[in-house]
Amino acid sequence: MDIPAPLASVLAQIGARFPELADDPVMAQSLLENVTSMIAEAHERYAAGVESSVVSDSYLDPAHLATGALHAEHAQHPAGAMLAAEVLFDAYLPVFVDEVGASTTADVLRATRALHAGVWSRFPAGAIAYTEALRQRVTTAHMDSRTQIARDLHDRVAHGILAGLQRIDLTLLTDPPAPARTAQLEDAARLLRGALGEVQDLAVSLHARVGDDHLDAALARHARDLFPAESAVAIASSGTPVTLPNWKAEEALTILLEALTNWRKHASGSTATVHFDWTDRAVTVTVSDDGPGFDTTAASDGRLGQLTMRERAGLIGAVLTVESAPGAGTTVRLALPVGAL
């Protein structure tokens, strides 16, 4: 598609200001299509002699809702699109005035209103679609979390309690000699203590808080509570830690604690390393272990936590990747923008 020079110049300005749009082929194409459509609508409004720039009374255009959903899918906050629109309006207004041949004050005012309406008509629908997409993600994440908790209570806690009670029942029914009775009761106590530990771990995870700490310090604090006997968890940072918006930090902490819980569950006895790489634009957290690993292409039954982790990552505009192979350990990587939105 041949792009007129004035429009190409504006797109270049937007791309320089918002590289996350320009560097993503899908978002870059969406930007081009939307900007082209905005300008075409502005020309139509000017040619029709429309005087008003108010467009929010018809803000549920399906095409505009689809654009908002696309932005949500790519974790692009509506505020970023609004800032890009401001750049478009500011840079393209002189071009638009020339294109429509506006010469009088009244014509220039009508051209200004037409361009404003063409640009602004996208954003109410986009914001609504973005909010709805996030609401759906929150609902899905919460439902997955509840399912995961129910599964943990059944598979980890209830199983341990049942096994411990069975040892006690066996002792009462058979009344073995003292040495055997002691061994059976000690085994029952071990199983029940393990179940108690699982309940305590779940409680700590559910009440994870970042507070006034940076994310790396908060993770270290909770790791000491969750894994007091684990000396095989090493946490390190490079770069200068940044204070994240609280809602982002809380979700990120939950994701990282779930990664460590998965490590202890599936790679017990291996060494886990957590590394925070801080930059001005993002923090990348890598959780890796030298455990048995797994086939990432196989059915994920029993790994519901990964689904919840990905949903939570999407909510905060982060990217979560999981790399593993049988015998090659596992690496979980969370890349989180540090912006205020």
Q: What is the pLDDT of residue 258?
A: 86
Cβ–Cβ under 8 Å, residues 290 and 320:
no
Predicted TM-score (pTM) of this structure: 0.51
User: How do the domains of the chain map onto residue ranges?
Assistant: 5-121, 139-207, 209-341
The per-residue pLDDT for range 94-143, each reduced to its tens digit, is 988 999 999 999 999 999 989 888 887 777 666 777 777 777 766 776 67
Helices 62-73 and 123-152: crossing angle in degrees, nearest 10, is 50
Of 259, 310, 312, 318, give the one whose Cα is nearest residue 289.
Answer: 259
CB count within 10 Å of CB 174 equals 11
**pLDDT at residue 57 in the model:** 52
CA distance 82 to 16: 15
Secondary structure percentages of the chain, helix, strand, coil, to 5: 65, 10, 25
Which amino acid does the sequence have at 175?
Answer: D
Specify the pLDDT at position 67: 61
What residues in the chain have per-residue pLDDT under 50?
A: 301-304, 340-341
**Which DSSP string do the residues of 94-161 spell out, in sequence order?**
HHHHHHHT--SHHHHHHHHHHHHHHHHTTHHHHHHHHHHHHHHHHHHHHHHHHHHHHHHIIIIIIHHH
Q: Identify the three-state secondary structure at position 318.
A: coil
Strands 282-289 and 233-238: unpaired
Q: At 235, is the secondary structure helix, strand, or coil?
A: strand
Which CATH superfamily is 209-341 part of?
Answer: Histidine kinase-like ATPase, C-terminal domain (3.30.565.10)
The residues near 139 (Cβ < 8 Å, ≥ 6 apart) are none
Q: 277-319, pLDDT tens digit by residue?
A: 999 888 999 999 888 888 877 655 444 467 778 878 887 888 8
Helix (H) or strand (E) holding 34: helix 25-47
- Order of all β-strands in the sheet with 282-289: 233-238, 272-278, 282-289, 330-337, 319-324
277 CB-near residues (< 8 Å, 6+ apart): 237, 238, 239, 283, 284, 285, 286
